[in-house]
Amino acid sequence: MRKVLVLNPADNIAICLADMAAGTVIDQDNLKLTITQKIPRGHKVASKSVKKGEGIIKYGERMGHATKDITVGEHVHTHNVLGDRLSTEAS
């Protein structure tokens, strides 16, 4: 059963298809990572490391930028991402 959905090969996030507990191992479609914290279904997980200021890529398009460094397996949400449409920061 699929645990995450990768929408485009250029994406640096994946969408969780179920609630994920810390320690859950994902090994599908050439993606291998361990969930580092509880992530709710429908939320994003980092499939690649993202440095502060770098773009968050979803559907092959930049949707926002990291407000702090994000590690592989980490929850990607409003606590560490600012959407480009709402941003007043330079990215």
Residue 1 confidence (pLDDT): 85
In a domain? residue 37 = yes
- Confidence band (pLDDT; 50, 70, 90) for 75? very high
DSSP string spanning 21-60? -TT-EEEETTEEEE--S-B-TT-EEESS-B-TTPEEEETT
In a domain? residue 72 = yes
In a domain? residue 89 = no
- Does 90 score more than 80 pLDDT? no
pTM: 0.89
- Does 85 score more than 90 pLDDT? no
Structural domains counted in the chain: 1
- Does 86 score more than 90 pLDDT? no
In a domain? residue 52 = yes
In a domain? residue 49 = yes
Q: What percentage of residues in the chain have a pLDDT greater than 70?
A: 93
In a domain? residue 90 = no
Q: What is the CATH number of the domain that holds 75?
A: 2.30.130.110
- Does 31 score more than 60 pLDDT? yes
Domain residues for the domain of 60 are 4-83
In a domain? residue 46 = yes
